[in-house]
């Protein structure tokens, strides 16, 4: 019987893969704790925990009529970002996939009233919400499998939870030990272009509004306390601050962990930081996570 052995809300911002000299130039001479936090997370979790597969809930990969899960045997190549090709250019990636788990996840769609398609096309694009975190947490671990699930841009809160329920059920039915990465930001409004370069440092005074910062801090407190029910119950309020991908990455993760019944306490790696107006942080939740008590549709 498979299990989710750990899960996290992880920032993937482009600055983490820039040269250290450039990172420091953008941040008043200081290193980003998003980098050192990932390095610490690698040492304390990804290098020591017993797991087979990482599932990335990728907030940069937007589908429209269904959720899609990668099902290739292996993904490899050079990644250049269409968004920021100057900073993320021809970055190599190479990791095993997990087609068996991908098909098992898709096979749970009907049970939960949703649509999930496994795709094994080698030409399927990859996104830096996957590759950036893999560079820190997966590179150099060739036996570990990595797959990604995109956010669906027509999905609402319930749809994202349904995907998570299917994901959790598939993992528990498998023989896999899995780590989940909800790869994405918290509040997510960028500064306008002509103002943006005045707000590239990590300090929280650069978050787009004080209200967005306060909303993020409130939820970080709830993560630390394991109060995921409160996060879920206040999603309509939080949507005012435009969390990245409507917080689909977190909601899919939470659906797999038991939704409002999940009481896993978060452990923060690094500080909460600004990225040109957006709120970025790494928060990790250790398993085991009890199987949710629910019935299928």
Instruction: Write the pLDDT tens digit of every residue in 94-133.
Output: 999 999 999 999 999 999 999 999 999 999 999 999 999 9
Determine the CATH number of domain 3-286: 3.40.830.10
pLDDT given at position 291: 81
In the predicted model, is pLDDT for residue 176 greater than 80? yes
The answer to whether the CB of 11 falls within 8 A of the CB of 132 is no
The answer to whether the CB of 93 falls within 8 A of the CB of 79 is yes
The answer to whether the CB of 68 falls within 8 A of the CB of 166 is no
- The closest of 141, 147, 150 to 179, measured between CA atoms, is 147
Q: Exposure of 156 by Cβ count < 10 A (0-12 exposed, 13-18 middle, 19+ buried)?
A: middle
Average pLDDT over residues 251-269: 98
Query: In which band, very low, low, confident or very high, does the pLDDT at 146 lie, cut at 50, 70 and 90?
Result: very high
The one-character DSSP state at 277 is T
In the predicted model, is pLDDT for residue 269 greater than 80? yes
Query: In which band, very low, low, confident or very high, does the pLDDT at 147 lie, cut at 50, 70 and 90?
Result: very high
Compute CA distances 73 → 70, 99, 131, 231, 250, whole Å.
9, 6, 17, 36, 26
What is the spatial distance between Cα 86 and Cα 88, in angstroms, rounded to a whole number?
Answer: 6
For residue 287, give both structure tokens: 């398993």
169 in helix, strand or coil? helix
- Determine if the pTM surpasses 0.95: yes
pLDDT given at position 14: 97
Average pLDDT over residues 12-31: 97
In the predicted model, is pLDDT for residue 297 greater than 60? no
In the predicted model, is pLDDT for residue 62 greater than 90? yes
* Whole-number percent of the chain with pLDDT over 70: 99
Domain boundaries, the chain: 3-286
Average pLDDT over residues 151-170: 98
pLDDT given at position 290: 83
């Amino acid at each position: 019987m498979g299990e989710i052995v750990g899960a996290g809300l992880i920032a993937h911002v482009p600055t983490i893969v820039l040269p250290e000299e450039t990172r420091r130039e953008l941040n008043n001479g200081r290193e980003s704790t998003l980098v050192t936090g990932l390095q610490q997370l690698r040492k304390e979790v990804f290098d020591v925990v017993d797991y087979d597969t990482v599932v990335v809930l990728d907030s940069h990969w937007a589908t429209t009529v269904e959720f899609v899960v990668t099902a290739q045997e292996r993904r490899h190549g050079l990644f250049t970002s269409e968004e920021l090709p100057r900073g993320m250019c021809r970055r190599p990636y190479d990791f095993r996939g997990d087609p068996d788990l991908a098909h098992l996840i898709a096979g749970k769609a009907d049970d939960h009233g949703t649509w999930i398609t496994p795709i094994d096309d080698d030409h399927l694009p990859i996104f830096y919400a996957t590759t950036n975190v893999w560079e820190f947490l997966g590179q150099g671990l060739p036996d570990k499998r990595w797959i990604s699930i995109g956010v669906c841009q027509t999905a609402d809160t319930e749809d994202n939870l349904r995907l998570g329920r299917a994901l959790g059920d598939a993992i528990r039915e498998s023989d896999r030990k899995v780590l989940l990465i909800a790869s994405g930001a918290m509040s997510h409004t960028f500064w306008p272009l002509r103002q943006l370069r005045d707000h590239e440092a990590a300090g929280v005074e650069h978050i787009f509004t004080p209200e967005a910062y306060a909303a993020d801090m409130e939820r970080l407190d709830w993560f630390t306390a394991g109060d995921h029910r409160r996060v879920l119950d206040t999603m309509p309020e939080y949507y005012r601050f435009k969390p990245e991908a409507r917080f689909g990455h977190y909601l899919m993760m939470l659906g797999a962990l038991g939704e409002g019944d999940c009481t896993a306490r978060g452990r923060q790696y690094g500080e909460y930081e600004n990225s040109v107006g957006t709120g970025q942080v790494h928060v990790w939740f250790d398993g085991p996570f009890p199987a949710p008590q629910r019935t299928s549709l």
